[in-house]
Amino acid sequence: MQRMDRVLILRKLAELDNYLAQLSEFSSLSETEYQRDWKTQRIVDRTLQLVIECCTDIANHAISAMALTVPTSYAHTYTVLGEAGLLDSGLADTMSRIVRFRNILVHQYTKVDSKIVADILRNRLDDVRAYRAAVLGWLRMGQS
């Protein structure tokens, strides 16, 4: 088992902080406001994608460094972290759902649901912050 690359993870966390700060400008965005402005949709959708991908990059690095079960999908990545005790089951489930939303954003399997976007902006960014806090815990744990 190799050690997690602290510099890599801290760099990813800094990117995540930047994206979360950018999204905070849209935290009061209503569903109607989102639907009405394609430029806002593009900014929010792309930044949400970057947030989710940053979280998944960190997760995949941790899984590799700790020689955990190889995930079968992006969503399974967070299940693996939960099973390893690195995320509580509720947060693992939430992050799995968030990463599934990323697939809709990227591949546009269906039209992006503005209700979901508004909910993420208002209520789910704190889940990403909880994930961030868990990652910092992994780094502290790795120092001992």
pLDDT at 128: 96
Domain boundary assignment for the chain: 6-143
Q: What is the pLDDT of residues 22-50, one digit of tens each?
A: 999 999 999 999 999 999 999 999 999 99
Residue/partner pairs of 40-45 with CB below 8 Å, 24 or more apart: 41/112, 44/117, 44/121, 45/105, 45/112, 45/117
Residues of the chain with pLDDT under 70: 1-2, 109-110, 143-144
The owner of tokens 């789910």 is 124
Torsion region of 85: left, alpha or beta (phi above 0 gives left; psi -120 to 50 gives alpha): left
* 57 to 16, 46, 76, 119: CA distances (angstroms): 11, 16, 13, 24
Cα(99)–Cα(74) distance, integer angstroms: 7
* 3-class secondary-structure state, position 64: helix
Quote the distance between the C-alpha of residue 137 and its chain's center. Answer: 16
pLDDT at 2: 60
The CATH-assigned architecture of domain 6-143 is Up-down Bundle (1.20)
Can you read off the two tokens belonging to residue 60?
Answer: 């995949």
